[in-house]
Structure 1
């Protein structure tokens, strides 16, 4: 029995190792950030990526989503003019005719398995306050109904941290994993990168290597 458990553990370790290698292809000096972010996602934890512009923070998120079998993915670039409709979905016109204030959330954050919010601290308080409940309690108040959301992990990114005394401390605390994403340090990696084709957002992950559709339970399937 002990040997079987050891074999299963080794099999899972190899599988994850191959998976990280596949989704890190063409991304130099990003393997550790991707590995830690993927582990956080498997644990249902949120990750904050901090770094200057142009360090592939959004690409990291898209690549991690490729590790799973067709997840419902949502991505949005925040700014101070962002509205709740752009993140949580537009208000249903047909519902308004019946005196109900309900959002159509299909293809928006409340229906996403995996999400990426870029420049998160630039968003409006109306969005950030709703995010607090959504990512902490995994619920979304849609009109008079409190809906459970399928969100398993949220990645957020910014080139700044929240300003002090702006009421963002509670939301920032929800990002248990925080990582620095720095510019490429080694010259050979930089030269290879600028002489290569742009990295694709879609990593080539074999179907038998991709993780089950957000069941968040690794199996000992051989790769």
Structure 2
């Protein structure tokens, strides 16, 4: 297992060294950071292809959730960590993440979409009226499941973190010194984890 991982990393480094001139040391540091699961801070003058090297390095790995963001004075915690799902705090509402993670609900929605698409393409009025009755029944199932999920999960605020730092395997925070104090303070815990 060790040799397989070492061979993969060496192959990636060889490939990247052909793409990026004079970046062998930076690439080795990135490989060490990935293998040891440590943070890597890269400081250099503008135009030295630091961000490009990181993006190319990341592209060598499959199935890796990556979050990259260029920090500015306008960067807030929501852009980095996600935002409150408003549907989760509305009385009778249910979080979108709960709806996405419930197979029975997703299957009922898929069936409703399929019936509706068939209804839209059907030309025969008699068949359309039969399909309309099936659509009403399917919509009732979706509504009932949504109400049940609302009762089970009501009052539990949730944060939408898809595509943000909490869901990422690797994170690139570019121009970190341009971030506000609030954003930097919120990153302290994430950097330690």
TM-score by length of 2: 0.60
Match of 1:49 in 2: 42
CA contact (8 A) 2:9 2:31 kept: no
RMSD (Å), alpha carbons: 2.1
Residue 23 of structure 1 is matched in structure 2 by 16
Match of 1:85 in 2: 78
1:106 is matched with 162
Cα separation, 2, equivalents of 1:44 and 1:17:
17
- Quick one: which of 61, 76, 82 aligns to 2:69? 76
CA distance in 1, matches of 2:160, 2:88: 10
Mapped partners of 2:156, 2:73: distance in 1: 28
Deviations 1:178-204 (A, max 9, x none): xxxxxxxxxxxxxxxxxxxxxxxxxxx
Cα deviation for residue 52 of structure 1 reads 1.3
What secondary structure, in the 3-state scheme, does the structure 1 residue paired with 2:159 have? coil
Aligned to 2:144: none
Give 1:126 shift.
Answer: 2.0
Which residues of 2 match residues 137-152 of structure 1 at below 5 A?
Answer: 138=193
Q: Secondary structure at the match of 1:55?
A: coil
Deviation at 1:14, TM superposition (A): 4.4
Question: Gaps spanning 5+ residues in structure 1: where?
Answer: 1-7, 139-223
Larger radius of gyration: 2
Q: As a proportion of its length, which structure holds more helix?
A: 2
Length-normalised TM-score, structure 1: 0.53
Q: How many residues align?
A: 130
Judge conservation of contact 1:23–1:66 (CA < 8 Å) in 2.
no
Query: Partners in 1 of 2:5 and 2:63 — Cα distance?
Result: 20
Kept in 1: contact 2:82–2:162 (CA 8 A):
yes
